[in-house]
């Protein structure tokens, strides 16, 4: 099974069953997961936000964190580096991205060694997907 680069917005639904959709489930069966180093922080922030909004119970929150921990044991994680930071700095100048999204996209660039053609980038964020498309990724909406 090939790897795809997954943004946190695409992974949260795999851990929170109320948010799961058939597209994300199918993608998870098709692609292994490559992520940016801070993706778990973003995911846990998403879980906590759902709890604060009353959309996730305490028990469901714990279950989502357990699923995240299981998922982490099998994914490929791109670590921080000077190259990645420089790439993210260039991306915020070029595209209307938040800092965390630029870091996600820079991590994807590092993951594929800058050879984006044919590489899959999965996200639920339309701005991030558009930037990924412009960089040559096969951008897939989750």
pTM: 0.93
| Average pLDDT score, the chain | 94
In the structure, what pLDDT confidence band is assigned to residue 1 with cuts at 50, 70 and 90? confident
Q: Which domains does the chain have, with CATH numbers?
A: 1-142 (3.40.50.1010)
Q: For residues 137 and 60, is the Cβ–Cβ distance under 8 A?
A: no
Query: Which has more confidence, 128 or 25?
Result: 128
SS (H, E, C) 88-105: HHHHHHHCCCCHHHHHHH
Reported in sequence order, the residue ranges of the chain that DSSP labels E, i.e. its strands, are: 3-6, 32-36, 76-78, 120-123, 138-141
Mean pLDDT over 121-135 rounds to 96
Render pLDDT for 9-62 as a digit per residue (tens, 0 to 9): 999 999 997 666 888 889 999 999 999 999 999 999 999 999 999 999 999 999
């Amino acid at each position: 099974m090939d790897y795809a680069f997954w943004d946190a917005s695409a992974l949260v639904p795999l851990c929170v069953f109320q948010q799961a959709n058939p597209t994300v489930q199918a993608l998870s069966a098709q692609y292994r997961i490559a992520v940016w180093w801070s993706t778990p922080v973003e995911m846990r922030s998403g879980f906590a936000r759902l709890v604060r909004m009353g959309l996730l119970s305490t028990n469901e929150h714990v279950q989502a964190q357990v699923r995240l921990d299981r998922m982490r044991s099998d994914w490929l994680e791109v670590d921080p580096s000077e190259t990645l930071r420089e790439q993210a700095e260039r991306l915020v100048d070029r595209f209307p991205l938040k800092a965390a999204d630029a870091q996600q996209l820079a991590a994807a660039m590092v993951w594929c060694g800058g050879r984006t053609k044919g590489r899959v980038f999965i996200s639920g964020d339309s701005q991030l997907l558009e930037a990924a498309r412009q960089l040559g990724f096969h951008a897939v909406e989750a």
